Amino acid sequence: MELKKFVDFNQLEVAFRAKTDETLRKRHFIFLAMQWPGLVKIGTELTKIALKFHLPVKTLIKTTIFDLFVGGETLDGCQRSSNELAAFGIGAIFDYSVEGEKSEEGFDDTMNEILRTIERAGEMDFIRFSAFKITGMGHFELLAKIHRGDVLTEDEQAAYDRIFRRVDRICRLAYEKDVSVLIDAEETWIQKPIDEISVKMMQTYNREKALIYYTYQMYCHSMLANLKKMHMAAVEGGYRLGAKLVRGAYMEKERARAEKMGYESPIQPHKEATDRDFDAAACYCVEHINQIGVFSGTHNEDSNYKLTLFMDEMGLQKNDYRVYFGQLYGMSDHISFNMANAGYNVIKYVPYGPLRAVMPYLIRRANENTSVKGQSSRELSLLAAEIKRRKIFKKQLGHQSKF
């Protein structure tokens, strides 16, 4: 069925208005290279080895894939990217993408960095968001143990209390600065402590409005019911539910683990089921918008269109402060820029961190973009179309100028 459209993602001049010809060509080249799974695989392995042996590959990575998907090495280094977005009415979520911290000192450092991103977001004139992962605040294994319901030692309990205190410091500062916080979702086998902490934060800080957002991975077959249950609990508890909706990024890992360990996979049986539940969740949130704030994190065009449709059906303004559309930096600019141009609240995750530390994030993006069915072929054809459009446009200008 053809959807009624409130925004046209195919307006190329809007989608790429922030990009110079040179940037477009560079992006086109990188997305073209990423079409080859073999190249990405070899490139990934070679990069790992080169970085390990301190070979001089930093400049190459920095001027290519890092430049495409990452805002900078430091928070200050993201200024150019966030200014570029702000110029077109798009917000930025500074996402400190350092993964794999293992020490208490490292967790404190990560917390301090997140606090800085909140301070920075608090200085923004519009769309003030920040995001973080609970695994940046404490040991993955400890979270997995809590999820399983194992008895904790005294030291482990103390470590869990520290995780809670770190998260609370982040959420408290966000509350003071009026900055929304997205708590990212990760593997399902650490989910219970994340649920517990997130709900406590919402109970404390979401009394007036949805400020703290829990992430719902709609590729889990239980997630729609979970959203409704948590909504009911929020209504009973007298606080707003913050719902960040995503499809989910760990599908292969989840399925492989379930198969290996012999339990039922938490993942939907097929993509259509994930799509159906994602859109049903977005619809549910908008239908209960007086009690829910929704952040829709997707590059799926249909899901973005549908949410605009649900908003219209509920009589919401395009820029209603309770509905946000989110994409990742370097991806789907045709959605972000066209939605912002049409008047919706749009915000992009702008990851940052030292090159070596953001490599796992970059590798995930490169792999995600190799799929022929996926993102990169669409990005590629849009980039090619815009390069062609500019050539024709310039040619026409050239002809006109002769007269």
Ligand X SMILES: Cc1cc2nc3c(=O)[nH]c(=O)nc-3n(C[C@H](O)[C@H](O)[C@H](O)COP(=O)(O)OP(=O)(O)OC[C@H]3O[C@@H](n4cnc5c(N)ncnc54)[C@H](O)[C@@H]3O)c2cc1C
Q: Which residues are near ligand X by CB under 6 A?
A: 184-185, 215, 217, 219, 246-251, 267-268, 270-271, 274, 297-300, 326-328, 349, 374
Range list of β-strands (E), 302-398: 323-328, 346-352
Closer by beta carbon to ligand X, 270 or else 402: 270
Residues 11, 89: Cα–Cα separation, whole Å: 16
Q: Which is nearer to ligand X, 250 or 284 (CB)?
A: 250
Asked whether the beta carbons of 352 and 97 are under 8 A apart, the reply is yes
Give the C-alpha distances (Å, rounded to integers) separating 89 from 16, 226, 344: 14, 33, 9
Backbone angles phi, psi at 325, to 5 degrees: -115, 130
User: Which residues 6+ apart lie within 8 Å of 238 measured at CB?
Assistant: 207
The residue number whose beta carbon is nearest to ligand X equals 297
Using the minimum distance from each CB to ligand X, give the nearer residue, 47 or 191.
Answer: 191
Taking the complex as a whole, the smallest distance from the CB of residue 84 to ligand X amounts, in Å, to 17
Query: For residues 5 and 391, which CB has a smaller minimum distance to ligand X in the complex?
Result: 5
Minimum distance of ligand X from residue 237's CB (angstroms)? 23
Smallest distance, ligand X to C-beta of residue 33, A: 20
State the minimum distance, in angstroms, from the CB of residue 325 to ligand X: 9
Phi and psi at residue 71, to the nearest 5°: -75, -30
Q: Are 323 and 307 in contact (CB under 8 A)?
A: yes
Could you count the other beta carbons within 10 Å of the beta carbon of residue 350?
24
Query: Are 295 and 244 in contact, with CB atoms under 8 Å apart?
Result: yes
**344 touches 325 (CB < 8 A):** yes
CB of 288 to ligand X, least distance (A): 22
Q: Report yes or no: 185 and 194 within 8 Å, Cβ to Cβ.
A: yes
Least separation, in Å, of the C-beta of 264 and ligand X?
14
Nearer to ligand X, 201 or 251 (CB): 251
Task: Output 160 or 216, the one with its CB closest to ligand X.
Answer: 216
